[in-house]
């Protein structure tokens, strides 16, 4: 065999899975359809991600935190409010601070391209990982002893197991005949970065509006990442606005909170949906990240679900190797370990989005009252903080 594992997909989850499994002693061949350097350009991906405390602990174990120096913004406060676009904001809000998390950050914000660069550098420096990109994969051949990936114009690659981290529209999942359940939301989201006059003090804001949440997430250097969720018609109209009118609309939504505010990066728009694979495992193939599950960005947990997949995979692979077992036929623990956690989180984000993204008067008043009551109940706050930080349940070793 060329390696213990073949990982298909050089995104954030695929890169992390390669490093996590190599950290546990496995050899990895990492394949991606795109040139890795294209992913590092500012115009390629303007998204930023909230990395949960447990996920960031894995990056400490892997030495990625040192490569991210100067590009990580700790989240020390979370403020959740409910209101109307550019108008009334309910005085009943829910506030979490670092004391609720044991005097440590509740998470860390960073731009995706910064994290991708750090992961790519670590992959290139790791002797147990061979990365081939860009490549065009033409098919798979699975036998009783191994799985083979056929690459156009190159030699086949053979390993004990194949890990599909190739995204929401996963080629590997489709080729494996694994079905998906999809719930389309009547929403799209704009993602961009803004610079503002006043400091954010490490506070993440989630403002629930009738058509969807408006999230303001702190970045370094008096900047914030914006995730603006609305109806497809409203998002399409906003994307069509000239720069000065788009900036004015953003400023209206911010109010006076951060002083003068203006975009400092391109804007992107994405349709939103909930998607869950019917199975994570088929034969010697495993789905992780968006190939297995994609959820609403309302809680910023989508990437963290994939990172927990990567950490769990590393432990499952390590246990098989250390006991002299065939990795590809000893992957069932991945399904058992991750399926329940992912489905609970997916259902929770779906319920929260439906509860908060409407303007029905009784529901609106009830949710505002609920936020105010929750703000007074410290045990409930501690539970939600630990859940958001990824600290509940049986944690893979790299998250501890």
Rounded to an integer, the average pLDDT of 245-262 is 91
Helices (H), the chain: 12-23, 53-61, 64-67, 112-125, 171-175, 232-239, 243-254, 302-322, 332-356, 361-374, 378-388
Question: Of 205, 204, 207, 202, nearest to 221 (Cα)?
Answer: 202
- C-alpha to C-alpha distance for 265 and 190, rounded to whole angstroms: 12
Contact criterion met (CB below 8 Å) for 270 and 290: no
pTM of the model: 0.92
Question: Of 303, 83, 93, nearest to 213 (Cα)?
Answer: 83
The three-state secondary structure class of 220 is coil
Contacts of 378 (CB under 8 A, 6+ apart): 100
Rounded to an integer, the average pLDDT of 47-59 is 93
Question: Of 303, 47, 13, 359, nearest to 166 (Cα)?
Answer: 13
119-135 pLDDT per residue, tens: 999 999 999 999 999 99
Q: Is pLDDT of 347 > 70?
A: yes
Both tokens of residue 204? Answer: 């993440």
Give just the sign of the alpha carbon dihedral 388, 392, 395, 400: positive
Give the domains, in start order, of the chain with CATH numbers.
3-48+64-69+110-181+272-356 (3.50.50.60)
- C-alpha to C-alpha distance for 231 and 204, rounded to whole angstroms: 23
Residue 26 is predicted with a pLDDT of 98
Both tokens of residue 257? Answer: 């909170």
Question: Of 10, 281, 284, 31, nearest to 167 (Cα)?
Answer: 10
* DSSP-assigned letter for residue 89: B
Burial 371-399 (b: 16+ CB within 10 A, else e): beebbeeeeebeebbbbbbbbeeebbebb
Contact criterion met (CB below 8 Å) for 40 and 120: yes
Helices (H), 301-377: 302-322, 332-356, 361-374
Q: Is pLDDT of 380 > 60?
A: no
Question: Of 90, 149, 75, nearest to 356 (Cα)?
Answer: 90
Q: Is pLDDT of 27 > 70?
A: yes
More confident residue, 365 or 337: 337
Contacts of 169 (CB under 8 A, 6+ apart): none
Q: Rank 29-38, 124-133, 249-258, 333-342 by mean pLDDT and report only the highest.
A: 124-133
Q: Is pLDDT of 268 > 80?
A: yes
137-189 pLDDT per residue, tens: 999 999 999 999 999 999 999 999 999 999 999 999 999 999 999 999 999 99
- C-alpha to C-alpha distance for 291 and 190, rounded to whole angstroms: 22
């Amino acid at each position: 065999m060329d390696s213990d594992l073949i990982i298909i997909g050089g995104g954030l989850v695929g890169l992390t899975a390669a490093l996590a499994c190599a950290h546990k002693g496995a050899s990895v061949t990492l394949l991606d359809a795109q040139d890795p350097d294209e992913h590092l350009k500012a115009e390629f991906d303007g998204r930023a991600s909230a990395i949960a405390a447990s996920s960031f602990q894995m990056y400490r174990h892997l030495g990625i935190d040192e490569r991210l120096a100067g590009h990580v913004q700790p989240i020390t406060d979370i403020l959740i409010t409910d209101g109307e676009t550019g108008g009334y904001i309910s005085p009943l809000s829910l506030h979490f601070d670092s004391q609720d998390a044991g005097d440590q950050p509740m998470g860390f914000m960073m731009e995706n391209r910064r994290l991708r660069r750090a992961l790519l550098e670590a992959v290139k420096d790791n002797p147990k990982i061979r990365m081939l990109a860009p490549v065009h994969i033409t098919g798979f051949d699975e036998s009783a002893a191994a799985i083979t990936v056929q690459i156009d114009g190159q030699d086949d690659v053979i390993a004990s197991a194949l890990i599909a981290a190739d995204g929401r529209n996963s080629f590997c999942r489709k080729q494996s005949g694994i079905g998906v359940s999809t719930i389309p939301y009547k929403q799209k989201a704009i993602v961009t970065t803004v610079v503002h006059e006043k400091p954010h003090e490490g506070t993440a804001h989630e403002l629930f509006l009738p058509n969807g949440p408006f999230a303001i997430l702190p970045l370094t250097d008096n900047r914030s990442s914006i995730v603006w969720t609305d109806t497809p018609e409203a998002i399409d109209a906003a994307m069509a606005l000239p720069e000065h009118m788009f900036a004015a609309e953003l400023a209206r939504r911010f109010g006076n909170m951060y002083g003068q505010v203006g975009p400092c990066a391109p804007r992107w728009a994405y349709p939103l949906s909930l998607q869950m694979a019917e199975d994570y495992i088929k034969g010697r193939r495993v789905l992780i990240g968006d190939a297995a599950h994609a959820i609403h960005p309302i809680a910023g947990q989508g990437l963290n679900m994939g990172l927990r997949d990567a950490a769990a995979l590393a432990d499952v692979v390590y246990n098989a190797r250390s006991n002299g077992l065939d990795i590809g036929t000893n992957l069932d623990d991945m399904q058992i370990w991750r399926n329940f956690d992912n489905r609970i989180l997916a259902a929770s984000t779906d319920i929260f989005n439906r509860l908060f993204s409407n303007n029905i008067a009784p529901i609106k008043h009830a949710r505002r009252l609920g936020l105010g009551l929750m703000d007074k109940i410290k045990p409930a706050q501690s539970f939600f903080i630990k859940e958001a930080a990824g600290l509940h349940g049986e944690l893979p070793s790299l998250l501890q």
